Amino acid sequence: MSSELLRYVLRRVIQLVLVIFVAVSVNFLIPRLLPGDPVATSLARLQTAGGGTAIDIEAISRTYSERYGLDQPLFTQYLNYWADLLRLDLGVSFANFPEQVTTMILRALPWSVGLLGAATLFSFVVGSWLGARLAWPGAGRVIRTVVPGMMVLAAVPFYLLAIILVYIFAVELRWFPPAGGVQTTTIMRFDWPTIRDILHHAVLPFAAISLGNIGFWALGMRSQTVSVLGEDYITFAEAKGLSPHRVFFWYGIRNAFLPQITALALSLGAVVSGAILVEVIFNYPGLGTLLYTAIRGQDYYVIQGVVLVLIVTLAVMLFIVDLIYPLLDPRIRR
Amino acid sequence: MTDTAAATRASRRRASRVDITLVLGLTMLGVIVLISILGPLLSDQSLANVGAVRPRRPPGPEFWLGTDAQGRDMFTLMLHATPNTLKMGLIAGVIGVGFGTVVGLISGHFGGWIDSVISIISDALMTVPAIAILVILAGNIAEMTTMIMALVVASLSWMFTARTVRAQVLTVKERGYVEVARVNGMAPLEILFIEVMPNVAPYILASFVGTVSAAILATIGLEALGLGAQNEMTLGNTIYWAQQSSAVLRGFWWWWGPPIVVIAVIFVGLFLTSVGFDRFANPRLGRE
């Protein structure tokens, strides 16, 4: 490993640590800086929502304050917060007392990662491919009509596409289930019926996220490819008599694809934001639905926990993308 | 001769295609803006209050877009929700771009450690899923209003502008006329606002479209999660209520259809306009 590469990796490690540090601190500070006591606010809202049952908010809030050390100085609280985090203790759910927030998140995480990971990878690869084909001379009529249509579709927030998909394919045609990650009666086992059921439920959310993203990647790849097309090395490769296939893959796509990876890193946050709402529409048992239920139930520690996990997961994924990047671009590796 | 004629024809055809995208985009936005301005004037807002009309009516001659579960006329609701959503997006966009411009100017012009700190913060914020931070912010505000909503969204929509402005300032700074101004004894702040700023302005304008569009997206997303100003009539809230009353499963398509159509028209309009402008300003992109 050259010293330059080492410096690059080191800088990325520092950035990763910084993002996590800031995320945790912001997560800790915002509720404490804003006027009002979050626990009391949550409970008050819960009370209004629950039809005004007479609960002694003061007493409950005081109990919480003592139990979680909210009456101690800010800095002590901050240190305690870090200590809890390092023990993976994100607090206890109000709504599902006494369930641990960590347990709830770990239960939801595989669903989100599976759905979002598959859909993002699929739309990234397919979208980039279509965008490159569209920009390359001699694109077929199908590509020239379908791909721009996908680009327009990508402008619409994809959770809205999700609503339309549910209506057409789950309510009207009844081809796919309208909600959930798996049939409620299915016993989770590692066998074909269970897997088929999970896949059957995943089709519509997968389609919604993909439909909303393919056009976005195609758009980026198209403009990258257009600028690559003007480069001398393409002309040279053609003049050398290389097959159009080889020029397309090894001279066109390979160069146009690199900025796409940077774009992927930068837009993962937006994809996750949209996917949260897709999960809500489908009542999919992932982090998005967990967050939504927590917001509706004013389940304070769950909201905080999910948000933290989202930020940290994303930061780690970005870190990985950035580490892979030099492997793909020989100019940086050297 | 024929070659030139063919080239002229080709370029005219290209020009007309550019126009179609741009014109279509601007028309869509124009229709939305027209509805936003005229709608509230020409309709009776009381029809969009809870319980004003019979609930759950399908679209018909009396209620053009039917009525929702809470007894509100969907058509009137749309006429009032559209301007509210646009207003929030515009306010958030103006604040976000304004703040981003100032930060970008400072960062690019002064450089040094200020620049490093600002760059690190804005880079970090750009990669964080905005909705996560917005949820924490919005969830901790006891009473949500449209204005606070715009502020919350603006707090995370300045980074792109800041980056663009910073990059532009860095290139403009080295130009001859800035050098001349410096030699003539102009104060750094004067140079910044009189010499540098006007040259960065087109980029600020360009990032404004993107920021407004992102801000509208964020507000609708937060509202759809139930974190908006619940008593206001907005497009995101309409979707939230449709979702709350299981409109999709119960087949009440007119509860979610109209807001989706309006939102789609807004975003497709913004998209086509920006693509059209890009081709207009940068003809190289237009070639197929």
For chain A, the structural domain boundaries read: 104-298
**Which member of B132, B272, B285 has the closest CB to residue A223?**
B285
Closest-CA residue of B relative to A307 is B132
ipTM of the complex: 0.80
For residue A18, the chain B residues in CB contact (below 8 A) are 120, 124
pLDDT tens-place string over residues A241-275: 888 888 888 888 888 888 888 888 878 888 888 88
What are the pLDDT digits (tens) for A168-183? 998 888 888 888 877 7
Q: Across-strand partners of A100?
A: A92
CA distance A187 to chain B (A): 25
Shortest distance, CA B231 to any CA of chain A (angstroms) = 15
DSSP B57: P
- Would B62 be classed as within a structural domain? no
**CATH class (in words) of the domain with range A104-298:** mainly alpha
In a domain, B53, yes or no: no
Indicate whether B64 belongs to any domain: no
Query: Residue A119 is encoded by which pair of tokens?
Result: 């859909």
pLDDT in tens, A282-318: 889 999 999 888 887 777 788 888 888 888 888 888 8
- Residue B158 sits in a domain whose CATH number is 1.10.3720.10
Average model confidence (pLDDT) across chain B: 82
The pLDDT, as a whole number, for residue B99 is 95
Helix-helix angle B253-281:B235-244, to 10 degrees: 140
Is residue B258 in some structural domain? Answer: yes
Q: For position B288, what pLDDT does the model report?
A: 41
User: Is the per-residue pLDDT at A123 higher than 80?
Assistant: yes
Predicted local confidence at residue B28, as pLDDT: 93
The total domain count for chain B is 1
Q: Which of B220, B175, B223, B182 is nearest to B198 (CA)?
A: B175
Confidence of residue B203 (pLDDT cuts 50, 70, 90): confident
What's the confidence (pLDDT) of residue A127? 94
Give me the pLDDT at residue A40, please: 65
Domain presence at residue B272: yes
Within-domain flag for B157: yes
CB atoms under 10 Å from CB of A108, counted, come to 22
Instruction: Convert the pLDDT of each residue in B5-44 to its tens digit.
Output: 555 555 555 555 556 888 899 999 999 999 888 888 888 7
> Hey, are the CB atoms on B140 and A34 less than 8 Å from each other?
yes
Give the integer Cα–Cα distance in Å for A309 and A289. Answer: 14
- Closest residue in chain B to residue A163, using alpha carbons only: B248
Q: Does some domain include residue B197?
A: yes
* Residue A3 to chain B, least CA–CA distance (Å): 23
DSSP B113: H
Predicted TM-score (pTM) of the model is: 0.82
CB contact under 8 A, A295 and B142: no
* DSSP-assigned letters across all residues of A154-216: HHS-HHHHHHHHIIIIIIIS--S-SS-SS-TT----SSHHHHHHHHHHHHHHHHHHHHHHHHH
Question: What CA–CA distance (Å, rounded) separates B7 from A311?
Answer: 53
Residue-level pLDDT at B13: 53
Give residue B242's domain range: 90-283
Angle at A87 between CA A61 and CA A24, to 5 degrees: 70
Residue B204 resides in a domain:
yes
